[in-house]
Amino acid sequence: MTEGKFRLDERFTMAVNGFTNERLLQYARRVMQRLVNRSGIFLIQPEVKLSPADMPGTMVLSCRRQGKLALNMDESYTLAVTPAGIALQAEGDIGILRGLETFLQLLAADETGYYFPAVVIRDRPRFPWRGLLLDACRHFMPLEVISRTLDGMAMVKMNVFHWHLSENQGFRIESQTFPRLQQIGSDGLYYTQEQVRDVIRYAEMRGIRVVPEFDIPGHSTAWLVAYPELASGPGPYLIERKYGIMDPTFNPALEKTYTFFKSFFAEMSRLFADDFLHIGGDEVNGNEWDANPGIQAFKKKHRLEDNRALQNYFNTRINDILKKNGKKMIGWDEIYAPGLDRQAIIHSWRGREALEKSARDGYRSILSNGFYIDLLQSTAYHYLNDPLPADSQLNVVEQKNILGGEATMWSELVSTETVDSRIWPRTAAIAERLWSPGTVRDVDDMFGRLDNISAGLEEVGLAHVKNREMLLRRLAGSSDAHSLRLLVGVLEPVKEYDRHNSGKPYTFFSPLSRLVDAAIVDPAPAREFEKLLAIFLKNRDADTFKTIMCTFAAWEGNHERLLALVRSAPLVGEITPLSRDLAALGNIGKEAAAYIFNKGKAPDDWLEGAKQAVLAAAKPKIELELRPAKAVLQLLEAVVPVSRQGKEE
């Protein structure tokens, strides 16, 4: 921070000094438009100029060359804001892109208008691999989802889009060599090659690499629907509608399998520009291999001791094919085996131990364990999940092997309507973990900034906020959604794999439009309540008491309105128990807070009953958790029972 402010007014303009290219120019134009839309200013010179204007109030962008979009690309930049002007400098144009996002983050407002605080920022990323995996298979993700996701990634300076393109539930990309793959294996839901080229170009214009994943030899039902002759089982196969680990697996004992992949990967290697290609390789259960005498014979002949060795044989053959096509292989933990090519990257879903082991053995690796955003864990949990924590025992050379990490958005339980609220804003916290120094880890501070970032993400079309409101409107039908809104503000969806175990038979066709789909992790009203309660327990002051009593009353009063809504909106009916529990929390909270505030003592049996009721309310129902239950329990702990002896306070 330095002295003063750069005031934004209609004279503001942006100019490029020195090297320029289409990527830099288009990005700068979009940033100008976002600035204009945020501030409502009618600029006199809205066009990005190609020479440094000598006008005052100019922002000058200067870099020396076009950045190469590849692992270890240069993303560093220096941003200097003074009251007289703004300078953004970088070695490559990609650094300018990153700096422009920081520039927009700095926009602030006071009574006089909009301004940028004077600062000098010298910035570069901690890890070179900062990715987001999007599973376009379990549920297909149309192009507009891809493009807004890429825009969101660019906003938070992520640089790898990991595109999961094949699965048991669908083969999602056009192959011109093997068109049956998409014709038979996709339900018509796939990307054409031209669309893929558009996506790659779109990502490139935002400084983002696109790494495709073709998950083999398991997770491959959709391929085998089209080419059952390459399977390890007898077939025939149907596109899988359910979720979980499935048997269908490519046959590694057949030479024609490799002939197929030779053509297939030659085609895909031409299509995708990045140096890396992901072959998945996870969760091969071996059932089909064990049941196939030909495969058993093949293992014996090649002295492949077990299925792991067999898969390693398969991977080695695939790696050779990729190498011939100029690609380096990435795979999940399971590909890590003796003799693995030194150029391969291990993608760790298993966790720190696996990650560090491969780093010690000289393999590069990226972390996704702890970044599974589809499991709906808290933002704080992801934020503190460091690929290279402070207590790491790796030496400097080994540390270099930890390239970074990837958030993973598996799509069993998300639709086009809900995917944004599962990715954002939590992924911004992961992006910060991977960009900023490991010492930046204040959770409260992160949450404060996260709400700002969340608002910014809406500018590029992300629907993480607005689609939740839409789902509530749809649930409420023609009635007022207010009671639903209050309820969902204190609910969280159950975590990890609990939705799959909740009794609802989730398939590709299931509704993803119930209250659990509108609920998010770390909803703001619940967070605010917890803060308020902590203040109350500390200060026991009249103002906080009054505010907290209002919240409790609102919870209590909401139930009747929800019951009225249920009469015209049958789908809301299943929510009734949660609403009743929230009303109970409100009622108990009110009494407990009053005991505390008035320094009274509560009858022991009331207190015991209240605790039991809150514990019951804390139990997940219809795939949802009532988040304030824990905080209300804390409140009850602070209530003094009549039976307690001695002086209080």
Q: Give me the active site residues, please.
A: 283
Please state the closest distance from residue 444 (CB atom) to a second copy, in A: 16
Integer Cα distance of 114 and 125 in angstroms? 28
The nearest distance, CB 504 to a second copy, in angstroms, is: 6
The amino acid that residue 598 corresponds to is N
- Binds a second copy by CB under 8 A, chosen from 78, 316, 513, 576: 513
**Closest separation between CB of residue 232 and a second copy, Å?**
27
The amino acid that residue 335 corresponds to is: I
3-class state of residue 461 by DSSP:
coil
Q: What is the C-alpha to C-alpha distance for residues 645 and 260, in angstroms, rounded to an integer?
A: 80
Q: What string marks each residue from 396 to 435 as x (binds a second copy by CB under 8 A) or -? A: -------------------xxx------------------
Closest distance to a second copy from the beta carbon of 70 (Å): 24
The piece of 41-49, 118-126, 394-402, 633-641 that touches a second copy (CB under 8 A) is 41-49
Q: Which stretch binds a second copy (CB under 8 A): 32-40, 162-170, 341-349, 356-364?
A: 32-40
Q: Which of these ranges, 191-199, 362-370, 526-534, 613-621, lies near a second copy under the rule CB under 8 A?
A: 191-199
User: In sequence order, what are the beta bridge partners of 130?
Assistant: 405
Residue 556's Cβ-side half-sphere holds a number of Cα atoms within 13 Å equal to 14
Tell how far CA 362 is from the center of its chain.
29
Please tell me whether residue 438 binds a second copy under the rule CB under 8 A: no
Within residues 88-127, the interface with a second copy by CB under 8 A covers 109-114
Nearer to a second copy, 473 or 590 (CB): 473
Q: Is 26 in the site for a second copy (CB under 8 A)?
A: yes
Angle CA 616–622–626, to nearest 5:
45
Between residues 61 and 588, which has the closer beta carbon with respect to a second copy? Answer: 61
- Residue 70 or 455 having the CB closest to a second copy: 455
- How many whole angstroms separate alpha carbon 635 and alpha carbon 641? 13
Among 104, 273, 465, 535, binds a second copy (CB under 8 A): 465
Sheet holding 13-18, edge to edge: 13-18, 58-65, 85-92, 77-82, 119-123
- In three-state secondary structure terms, 309 is helix
Cis peptide before 236 (omega within 30 of 0): yes
The residues facing 402 across adjacent strands are 365
Note whether 509 binds a second copy by CB under 8 A.
yes
Figure out which of the listed residues 1, 54, 188, 305 binds a second copy, where binding follows CB under 8 A: 188
The least CB distance from residue 121 to a second copy, in Å, is 22
648 lies in the site for a second copy, by CB under 8 A: no
Q: Which stretch binds a second copy (CB under 8 A): 13-21, 54-62, 64-72, 503-511?
A: 503-511
Minimum CB distance to a second copy smaller for 333 or for 517: 517
Under rule CB under 8 A, residue 378 binds a second copy: no
**Angstrom distance (rounded) from CA 178 to CA 256:** 14
| CB nearer a second copy, residue 134 or residue 566 | 566
Backbone torsion region of residue 146, taken as left when φ is above 0, otherwise alpha when ψ lies between -120 and 50, otherwise beta: alpha
Q: Does 570 bind a second copy (CB under 8 A)?
A: yes
Q: C-alpha 8: how far from its chain's center?
A: 33
CB atoms within 10 A of CB 374: 21
Nearest Cα residue to 529 out of 632, 639, 619: 632
Residue with tokens 């609990």: 498
- Binder to a second copy among 569, 582, 583, 614 (CB under 8 A)? 569
Element (H, E) at 151: helix 143-155
**Dihedral angle computed from the Cα positions of residues 465, 467, 471 and 472, in that order, rounded to the nearest 10 degrees:** 30
Least distance (Å) from a second copy to the CB of residue 36?
Answer: 5
Cα–Cα distance list, 333 to 212, 267, 350, 389 (Å)? 17, 26, 7, 20
- Of 91, 282, 341, 458, the residue at the interface with a second copy (CB under 8 A) is 458
Of 574-603, which residues contact a second copy (CB under 8 A)? 574
Could you tell me which stretch among 125-133, 219-227, 369-377, 508-516 binds a second copy (CB under 8 A)? 508-516
Q: Whole-number minimum distance, CB 117 to a second copy, in Å?
A: 15
**Shortest Å, Cβ 632 to a second copy:** 25
Phi-psi region of 285 (alpha: psi -120 to 50; beta: other; left: phi over 0): alpha
Q: What is the DSSP letter of 375?
A: G
- Asked if residue 180 binds a second copy (CB under 8 A), the reply is no
Contact 235, 224 (CB under 8 A): yes
Q: Minimum distance between the CB of residue 502 and a second copy, rounded to whole angstroms? A: 12
How many residues bind a second copy (CB under 8 A)? The answer is 66
Nearer to a second copy, 194 or 305 (CB): 194
CB of 170 to a second copy, least distance (A): 13
Asked if 51 is part of the footprint of a second copy (rule: CB under 8 A), the reply reads: no
Q: Find the shortest distance in angstroms from Cβ 509 to a second copy.
A: 3
- Judged by CB under 8 A, the chain residues 264 through 293 that form the site for a second copy are none
Between CA 6 and CA 119 the distance in angstroms is: 10
By CB under 8 A, tell whether 53 contacts a second copy. Answer: no
With binding defined as CB under 8 A, does residue 52 bind a second copy? Answer: no
What length is written for the chain?
649
> What string of DSSP letters covers 572-620?
GGGGHHHHHHHHHHHHHHHHHHHHHHTT-EE-HHHHHHHHHHHHHHHS-
Site string (467-486) toward a second copy, x via CB under 8 A: x-xx--xx--xx--------
Is the Cβ of residue 8 or residue 592 nearer to a second copy in the bound state? 8
Would you say 113 or 603 has its CB closer to a second copy? 113
In the bound complex, what is the minimum distance in angstroms from residue 124's beta carbon to a second copy?
A: 29
Q: Which residue pairs, CB below 8 angstroms and at least 24 apart, start in 420-423?
A: 420/145, 420/148, 420/149, 420/462, 420/463, 420/464, 420/467, 421/463, 421/464, 421/465, 421/467, 421/468, 421/520, 422/373, 422/374, 422/376, 423/132, 423/134, 423/149, 423/152, 423/373, 423/464
Q: Is 505 in the site for a second copy (CB under 8 A)?
A: yes
For residue 194, state whether it binds a second copy (rule: CB under 8 A): yes
Which residues of this protein are in contact with a second copy, per CB under 8 A? 22, 26, 29, 32-33, 36-43, 46-47, 109-114, 142-144, 147, 187-188, 192, 194-195, 198, 415-417, 451-452, 455, 458-459, 461, 463, 465-467, 469-470, 473-474, 477-478, 504-505, 507, 509-514, 566-571, 574
